[in-house]
Amino acid sequence: MEDPTDIVGALVGLFMCVLCRRCFDRACELGNHYQVTQHAAGQSEPNQDVVAFRGMPAGRKRNRRSWRYKRDRILDYIDLRRDPKTAHLAQSIVAHRSGLNLSLLGRWIKDKERIFLYARTPRRGGMLEYQPWRPQWPQADLRLYARFVYRRKAQAKRVTRRWLARNMADIRRNLGDGVDPHWLPSEGYLTRFCNRWNITSQCRTNKKKLSIEERLPAIQAFHQYWVYGVQHRQPPRDPKYGRYTPGTIYAMDQVPMAFSSPNNRTLNDKGERCRLLGIVEDDKRFCTLNVTLCADPDNQDVKVEVVFRGLGPENGGRVSQEEMNFYSAHPIVQVRWQNKAWADHRVCLDYLLDFRTQTLSKGHVALFMDNHGSQQTPLMRVLMHALDVEYVFTPANCTDAVSPVDRNVGQALKEKVYAMQEEELDLDGNEHWRYPASEGGLEAWEKRTMVVAWIDRAWQELKKDNKHLLLSSFVDTGILVANDGSENHLIRLHPKQVLGAYTF
């Protein structure tokens, strides 16, 4: 009589145990199963001798770790072994904390590429090799996810959609797919890739200490003063808005730029902590932007000011004439200098004079500013009053809700500038930017001229392509709403707030 295991195996292409009907892909796995359980002899109890020899208690199943568990343990180990002198110590620490054998950890580290490929996302889980629904390029898709996991989990570096696009193009060229040298995947493919692997955009940031609800009285008082106080003054110049028309309403705020640590936003697995290395130690202000917006999206006539670190030529700083000529060739950007690249009282006074020179033809104008101390000095107030500038200060710690620049436009401008930096220099960790010129890095004047060129191009693109963003920044913050209260429901103090939930 033929063995029933062979018959079933011949029919379904698997090896099956006669007693428990469990299937195995290979005959050796079935043999191991018979050794442990004695099912080949018709007994259902496990073989005590074999179990004891393998070092497991009787009746206990083998603890199979998932690919994700292995990946995280390996990445924890890699994070600890950054110093080669303590590599063995770090491996011992990880083994002690996790209860794993040192030799097992070593095998996982050698097999890390395969583990990265098959590590599953939380929505799938499991221990088998991950086979997602078939994308357009399956092998390239898996390799791209492996690079993403290694960069985010092991190196804790920032990942953007542009980074995904460049790496996908590099992977396909290495696989010999015959793609064009300038080929990049479409935005639709990148969106589907993020959906397949459960990747979302997150931001590592320090949230406001007070919630919107706790700051609501101050915000309501601000809107009451502006809409029912300032805009109702006589004479009205606009039947809808009142005293100030959209073309005479301006908002200004400072936007710090730290190119060595460009952004706190990155693509990350959903539910994972947004960890980024180098944010604290590299977060040194390279320059500060004074961004001034007009409530009329078609009338952005005020220059963007860049405050660089240093003395400047007017104070004896060493700035070449060639560099100054470069700045003059970009008329929509005004360059200033300060020791700490910040807007002190001198920079604010110079800004106010230049701002009024550019808006003098519009008559009396309104200017929204935050509670920066250099903007609220008695000299600044007297000068603004003499220059017919209606100054309105936003409430403290509320610029994220009522300042058009801080709400979304400043961040959009920074994103464009940082994207140009990545595109032009093709940086990975900004090594060239951080290194001094003696070690192959860029000179200080080269960095400054690059920044001015990027800001010039980014500001022109923003004014041309993002007019809806410029307009909505004033509407959402409650600065550009009808003075009769009919449009108060359009105010959104938070991007996720439902329309109609706020009134004053």
Find out whether 266 and 279 touch, Cβ atoms under 8 Å: no
- Amino acid 13: pLDDT: 41
Judged against a pLDDT cut of 60, whether residue 381 lies above it is answered with yes
- Amino acid 2: pLDDT: 39
Share of the chain above pLDDT 90, in %: 32
Of the CA atoms within 13 Å of residue 351, those in its CB half-sphere come to 31
- Amino acid 429: pLDDT: 45
Judged against a pLDDT cut of 90, whether residue 389 lies above it is answered with yes
The 3-state DSSP class for residue 137 equals: coil
CA angle at residue 260 from 208 to 287, to 5 degrees? 75
- Amino acid 253: pLDDT: 94
Across 471-492, average pLDDT = 89
Residue type, 306: V
Residue 9 pLDDT grade (very low, low, confident, very high; cuts 50, 70, 90): very low
Residue 123 pLDDT grade (very low, low, confident, very high; cuts 50, 70, 90): very low
Q: How many other β-carbons are positioned within 10 Å of the β-carbon of residue 93? A: 15
- Amino acid 210: pLDDT: 74
Residue 433 pLDDT grade (very low, low, confident, very high; cuts 50, 70, 90): confident
Residue 196 pLDDT grade (very low, low, confident, very high; cuts 50, 70, 90): confident
Judged against a pLDDT cut of 90, whether residue 369 lies above it is answered with yes
Q: How far apart are CA 277 and CA 4, in angstroms?
A: 59
* Beta pairing partners, 366: 249, 390
Residue 470 pLDDT grade (very low, low, confident, very high; cuts 50, 70, 90): very high
* Out of 94-98, 227-231, 326-330, least confident range: 94-98
Find out whether 356 and 386 touch, Cβ atoms under 8 Å: no
- Amino acid 11: pLDDT: 35
Judged against a pLDDT cut of 70, whether residue 480 lies above it is answered with yes
DSSP string across 4-26:
HHHHHHHHHSSEE-TTT--EESS
Name the burial class of residue 309, with classes exposed (0-12), middle (13-18) and buried (19+) by CB atoms within 10 angstroms of its CB: middle
Find out whether 136 and 189 touch, Cβ atoms under 8 Å: yes
- Amino acid 76: pLDDT: 62
* Beta pairing partners, 369: 393
Across 313-334, average pLDDT = 88
* Beta pairing partners, 437: none
* Beta pairing partners, 293: 251
User: To which residue do tokens 């910040």 refer?
Assistant: 342
Q: How far apart are CA 283 and CA 389, in angstroms?
A: 35
Domain annotation for the chain: domains and CATH numbers: 4-53 (no CATH), 67-203 (no CATH), 247-263+280-465 (3.30.420.10)
Higher pLDDT, 283 or 157: 157
Across 490-498, average pLDDT = 77
Q: How far apart are CA 373 and CA 390, in angstroms?
A: 17
Name the burial class of residue 310, with classes exposed (0-12), middle (13-18) and buried (19+) by CB atoms within 10 angstroms of its CB: middle
- Amino acid 40: pLDDT: 61
Please give the mean pLDDT across all residues of the chain. Answer: 79
> Which residue from 248, 253, 217, 215 is spatially nearest to 231, judged by alpha carbons?
248
Backbone angles phi, psi at 269, to 5 degrees: -65, 140
Q: Please list, in sequence order, all residues whose beta carbon lies within 8 angstroms of the beta carbon of residue 54, skipping any fewer than 6 positions away.
A: 36
pTM: 0.62
Residue type, 94: V
Higher pLDDT, 214 or 307: 307
Strand order in the sheet with 304-309: 333-338, 304-309, 287-294, 249-257, 365-369, 389-393
> Which residue from 456, 458, 452, 457 is spatially nearest to 286, judged by alpha carbons?
452
- Amino acid 279: pLDDT: 44
Residue type, 57: P
pLDDT per residue as tens digits for the range 197-209: 888 887 765 555 6
Judged against a pLDDT cut of 50, whether residue 130 lies above it is answered with no
- Amino acid 124: pLDDT: 46
Q: How many other β-carbons are positioned within 10 Å of the β-carbon of residue 115? A: 22
Across 247-275, average pLDDT = 78
Residue 54 pLDDT grade (very low, low, confident, very high; cuts 50, 70, 90): very low
> Which residue from 206, 214, 162, 156 is spatially nearest to 184, judged by alpha carbons?
162
Residue 245 pLDDT grade (very low, low, confident, very high; cuts 50, 70, 90): very high
- Amino acid 355: pLDDT: 95
DSSP string across 368-436:
EE---GGGSSHHHHHHHHHTTEEEEEPPTT-HHHH-HIIIIIHHHHHHHHHHHHHHHH--SSSHHHHS-
- Amino acid 494: pLDDT: 80
Q: How far apart are CA 437 and CA 452, in angstroms?
A: 20
Across 71-89, average pLDDT = 64
Tell me which DSSP letter residue 227 carries.
I
